[in-house]
Amino acid sequence: MMSVTQRHADELIQGARELGVELSEPQQQQLLAYLGLLIKWNKAYNLTAVRDPDEMVSRHLLDSLSVVPFVAERGDNWLDVGSGGGMPGIPLAIMFPERRFTLLDSNGKKTRFLVQVKLELKLDNLEVVHSRVEAYRPERPFDGISSRAFSSLQDFSDWTRHLGNADTQWLAMKGVHPDDELQALPADFRLSATHVLRVPGCQGQRHLLILRRSV
């Protein structure tokens, strides 16, 4: 069975440094422990199409860490929609232990995995919700809502509209710049900013689109 090696640790530390993200020793250990769980559970639960642990470092861990600067500047209460195997929610919860992260997914296998990660990594700032996003009704709006390859921008906006307000930032992590999806953005949403993400080890394009509600 493939496991986490020193090479993966070196790749994580170097990649994070290139992103301008400094990892403490406990954060390194938690991220690598998460990678180990992802490798182990992926065989039975099909959490990600990426099978190679080397690829998982860049395409999952470093890709998630690439949005750290944008989360850093915004609020204490975050929702990760369609979290799947926990990206970017779990790495962000590791990086920001003082903030609250809710990871939502409608797939029961995936939420069982997320609960296991929460328990094993002792992530007290993490809540896992097994629900369809349209049916989820939290007590208060979120400061930030993230998604990574979850849906079109139109669906992301429509399905999560009730979970935020005019102060909320929506962070959509995309591959190529989604010009067509932006054309279909609902009238009450606007594009606040676009950032090109340069993720070490990732060959394809990566973009972060930040959306705001206009009302």
Indicate the residue type of 201: G
Residue 77 pairs with which residues in a beta bridge?
Answer: 100
Q: How many helices (H) and strands (E) does the chain have?
A: 9, 7
Residue 174 pairs with which residues in a beta bridge?
Answer: 207
What are the pLDDT digits (tens) for 6-41?
999 999 999 999 999 999 999 999 999 999 999 998
Asked if 4 contacts 53 with a C-beta cutoff of 8 angstroms, the reply is yes
* Cα atoms found within 13 Å of the Cα of residue 42, Cβ hemisphere only: 20
Asked if 141 contacts 149 with a C-beta cutoff of 8 angstroms, the reply is no
What are the pLDDT digits (tens) for 56-70?
999 999 999 999 999
What are the pLDDT digits (tens) for 115-157?
999 999 999 999 999 999 999 999 999 999 999 988 999 999 9
DSSP 193: E
Asked if 81 contacts 58 with a C-beta cutoff of 8 angstroms, the reply is no
Residue 103 pairs with which residues in a beta bridge?
Answer: 80, 128
Torsion of CA 78, 83, 85, 90, to 10 degrees: 0
